[in-house]
Amino acid sequence: MKEEYVLELENIRKEYPGVVALKDVTLRLKKGEILALIGENGAGKSTLIKTCSGAVVPTSGKIKVNGKTFSRMTPQLASENGIAIIYQEFNNVGELSVAENLFLGHPIKKGIVIDKKAMEAESIEAFKQLNIDINPKELMKNLTVGYQQMVEIAKAIHQNANVLIMDEPSAPLTSKEVKSMFEVVRLLKSKGVSIIYISHRLEEIFALSDRIEVIRDGEYIDTLITKDANVDQLIKLMVGREMTQVYPERPDYTDFSETVLELHDVCGNGVKNINFKVHKGEVLGLGGLVGAGRTETAELIFGAAEKTSGKIIFKGKEINPKSPREAIDIGIALVPEDRKRHGALLGTSINHNINMPIYERISKFSVINTAIEKGNSEKYKKEMNIKAPNLDQLVKNLSGGNQQKVILAKCLAANSELIILDEPTRGIDVGAKFEIYKLINDLVANGKAVLMISSEMEELIGMSDRVVVLAEGLVTGVLEKDEVDADKIMMFASAVADKEE
């Protein structure tokens, strides 16, 4: 019997000036299945799925929905044919209520007036179907990212989507939120909805999908049945070579005699009495659950928030940076967690972004030394494998993961003494992660100090010399290298009750 597909992308090709993003890629989605789409940063995943809504118009190829053939889609056609997409950077309106967001573009009207009550009532129904509980009157911006995403899913389902495409939906979520999102996705599958799921986290792919399609460099590579696949095999298909190690070796360096940063009873920005030290040559991991105060602590050190009391000592001197600029000038860099808001200048080139913090240093009488400028960005483009035709490419035209690499490069280029990394590999593919870990190791080998916030337990354990654990704004544990393990970190991460007086 011929297999029934609800969606078929056939020989999709997409060319941009200087880049062939997709080279005749085919993808077939069966009814009621979860198909994972995986590949390295810049492989073409987002571009491929955007052809389903017309956000990207293919240079050639065909799109079949329930057997009907289209050479290109439009948002209207997609919605008429039951296709909904949740984008990597989803688009909701923070100033509107949840209900208004759910009905964005097609509000319920009574005559010519928008019927808020009816929309709210219907929102409640829609959430009920997904077993979630969200107040439809709440402003969208007041919801956690997890709930915002649930609203996006509810919106898709409410529009009667039978194909739901999710582009890295888990990247901004806490592990608890990921669990509830999985429940909703499984519920939808049981109702016959077909799902395309994109993620760099292979454990999610194994937990959720029925089949896995791998693409590499814009080319179709293979499709596997999930239960017959294994991690090593997937990594090899994605990166095109064997990768046996995830964490590069670093010589055990234990001479942490020189302190770079000391926090003494630092309070403010939601944290209390924070004490820890980061040494020259050390990667200090900062662990804890989301909301524990890790980013908040980083902001205090970086001058992005003001402390109310306590002392921050940097290279032996007390500092009180009033702004990130001040912090950068004294030798502190920070790669922010929320890269969309604080990260890159999207409308300018890779070259410009990477060199931004050092223009003063590499200029003489306002003339930039372009050789240094270019050499610098060439170096990072190569080391981090930033995928772009050249350094003049605008950052907004890069894939999500490659934008992050540019931001990381920018912070490293500043050549700071202390580098704070907030979730440095979120949204980054396995191969590039390895390169970033090598860069972190090089930094500390060259006498820098690194403070690394990570919610990925393995990364925290794999990269840190010591780990400080926070919970609800307090330091709950400090683990030396030989004590660092997942159980202990988890224990301290949830150990608040005993600490609070």
Ligand X SMILES: Nc1ncnc2c1ncn2[C@@H]1O[C@H](COP(=O)(O)OP(=O)(O)OP(=O)(O)O)[C@@H](O)[C@H]1O
Binding residues for ligand X, rule: CB under 6 A, are 16, 19, 21, 39, 41-47, 88, 387-388, 397-402
Other C-beta atoms lying within 10 Å of the C-beta of residue 125: 12
Q: How far is the CB of 206 from Mg ion (least distance, A)?
A: 20
Q: How far is the CB of 51 from ligand X (least distance, A)?
A: 10
Kindly tell me which of 97 and 397 has the beta carbon lying closer to ligand X.
397
Q: Which does 430 bind (CB under 5 to 8 A by kind): ligand X, Mg ion, none?
A: none
Q: How far is the CB of 220 from ligand X (least distance, A)?
A: 13
Q: Which does 44 bind (CB under 5 to 8 A by kind): Mg ion, ligand X, none?
A: ligand X
Tokens encoding 197: 């799921």
Q: How far is the CB of 41 from ligand X (least distance, A)?
A: 3
Q: How far is the CB of 12 from Mg ion (least distance, A)?
A: 15
Kindly tell me which of 213 and 296 has the beta carbon lying closer to ligand X.
213
Q: How far is the CB of 18 from ligand X (least distance, A)?
A: 7
Backbone angles phi, psi at 30, to 5 degrees: -90, 160
Query: Which stretch of DSSP H or E encloses residue 383?
Result: helix 370-383
Which 3-state string (H, E, C) describes 395-456?
A: HHHCCHHHHHHHHHHHHHHCCCCEEEEECCCCCCCHHHHHHHHHHHHHHHHCCCEEEEECCC
- Sheet of 317-319: strand order equals 271-279, 259-268, 309-314, 317-319
Size of the site for Mg ion (CB under 5 A): 4
Nearest residue to ligand X, scored by beta-carbon proximity: 401
Tokens encoding 344: 């890159």
Q: Which does 307 bind (CB under 5 to 8 A by kind): Mg ion, ligand X, none?
A: none
Q: How far is CA 422 from the centre of its chain?
A: 11
Kindly tell me which of 22 and 266 has the beta carbon lying closer to ligand X.
22
The 354-393 contact track toward Mg ion, x by CB under 5 A, reads ----------------------------------------
Do the beta carbons of residue 374 and residue 391 sit within 8 Å? yes
The separation between the first and the last C-alpha atoms of the chain, rounded to the nearest angstrom, is: 68
Q: Which of 337, 331, 259, 355 is nearest to 297 (CA)?
A: 337
Q: Which does 90 bind (CB under 5 to 8 A by kind): ligand X, Mg ion, none?
A: none
Kindly tell me which of 179 and 396 has the beta carbon lying closer to ligand X.
396
Q: How far is the CB of 49 from Mg ion (least distance, A)?
A: 9
Q: Which residues contact 141 (CB under 8 A, 6 or more apart)?
A: 94, 95
Q: Which does 16 bind (CB under 5 to 8 A by kind): ligand X, Mg ion, none?
A: ligand X
The 391-430 contact track toward Mg ion, x by CB under 5 A, reads --------xx------------------------------
Kindly tell me which of 354 and 398 has the beta carbon lying closer to ligand X.
398
Q: How far is the CB of 308 from ligand X (least distance, A)?
A: 39
Q: What single string gives the DSSP state of each residue in 273-320?
A: EEEEEEETT-EEEEE--TTSSHHHHHHHHTTSS--SEEEEEETTEEE-
Q: Which does 182 bind (CB under 5 to 8 A by kind): Mg ion, ligand X, none?
A: none
Nearest residue to Mg ion, scored by beta-carbon proximity: 46
Query: What is the residue type of 306?
Result: E
Kindly tell me which of 88 and 464 has the beta carbon lying closer to ligand X.
88
Using alpha carbons, list the distances in angstroms from residue 216 to 21, 36, 234.
10, 14, 11
Q: Which residues contact 61 (CB under 8 A, 6 or more apart)?
A: 9, 10, 11, 12, 13, 24, 25, 51, 71
Kindly tell me which of 120 and 168 has the beta carbon lying closer to Mg ion.
168
Q: Which does 162 bind (CB under 5 to 8 A by kind): Mg ion, ligand X, none?
A: none
Do the beta carbons of residue 233 and residue 225 sit within 8 Å? no
Residue from the set 12, 22, 46, 199 that interacts with Mg ion by CB under 5 A: 46
Kindly tell me which of 216 and 279 has the beta carbon lying closer to ligand X.
216
Query: What is the residue type of 422?
Result: D
Of 48-107, binders to Mg ion (CB under 5 A) are 88
Kindly tell me which of 215 and 421 has the beta carbon lying closer to ligand X.
215
Kindly tell me which of 78 and 292 has the beta carbon lying closer to ligand X.
78
Q: Long-range contacts: 249-254, Cβ < 8 Å, 24+?
A: 250/441, 250/444, 250/445, 252/481, 253/281, 253/282, 253/444, 253/445, 253/465, 254/481
Q: How far is the CB of 20 from ligand X (least distance, A)?
A: 8
Q: How far is the CB of 88 from Mg ion (least distance, A)?
A: 5
303 near Mg ion, rule: CB under 5 A: no
Q: Return d(Cα 370, Cα 138) in angstroms, integer.
A: 51
Q: How far is the CB of 47 from Mg ion (least distance, A)?
A: 8
Which alpha helices (DSSP H) does 41-197 contain, by range?
45-50, 75-80, 98-102, 116-129, 145-158, 175-190
Q: Return d(Cα 191, Cα 211) in angstroms, integer.
A: 18
Tokens encoding 64: 């079949």
Kindly tell me which of 47 and 464 has the beta carbon lying closer to ligand X.
47
Q: Which residues bind Mg ion (CB under 5 A)?
A: 46, 88, 399-400
